Amino acid sequence: LAKTTQPISMDSYEGQEVNITCSHNNIATNDYITWYQQFPSQGPRFIIQGYKTKVTNEVASLFIPADRKSSTLSLPRVSLSDTAVYYCLVGARMDSSYKLIFGSGTRLLVRP
């Protein structure tokens, strides 16, 4: 199972760009990298998913180097409402099911 390592917490200010890096040294060839956001007492919400290079959507960008052993979630111009826990996940294929194992996540605090 691919294990992920992220910083426990990060602080930022409104309007800044935030980059959260995740290490996944044992990622398998078929695994995708997915980032989720979770607010207190809510289920995680999908942010972005990628396999290699760069992926961008309306809320974030995901940078994945060629060796795929890490990835960086980039949040442009964060606001107070981006204060949440961000999880980097790499899917694990076992017995034809596709389990998502959560790491510790990164607790992002955005200050005014």
* By the rule CB under 8 A, 87 interacts with another protein: yes
> Of 16, 21, 23, 49, which one interacts with another protein (CB under 8 A)?
49
Binding another protein (rule: CB under 8 A), the pick from 22, 34, 35, 90 is: 34
Q: Which of 33, 101, 106 is nearest to 67 (CA)?
A: 33
Number of residues that bind another protein (CB under 8 A): 24
Q: Which residues pair with 71 in a beta bridge?
A: 22
Cβ of 35: how many Cβ atoms within 10 Å?
A: 24
CA distance 59 to 65: 20
Q: For another protein, which is the closer residue by CB, 66 or 94?
A: 94
* Contact with another protein (CB under 8 A) among 3, 45, 54, 77: 45
Number of Cβ within a 10 Å radius of residue 63? 16
Q: Give the separation between CA 23 and CA 26, rounded to whole angstroms.
A: 9
41 counts as binding another protein under rule CB under 8 A: yes
Asked if 106 and 20 count as a contact pair (C-beta separation under 8 A), the reply is yes
Interface segment toward another protein; rule CB under 8 A; list 17-25, 30-38, 53-61, 63-71: 30-38
Is position 111 an interface residue for another protein (rule: CB under 8 A)? no
Instruction: Please select the residue that binds another protein; options are 58, 66, 67, 95, rule is CB under 8 A.
Output: 95
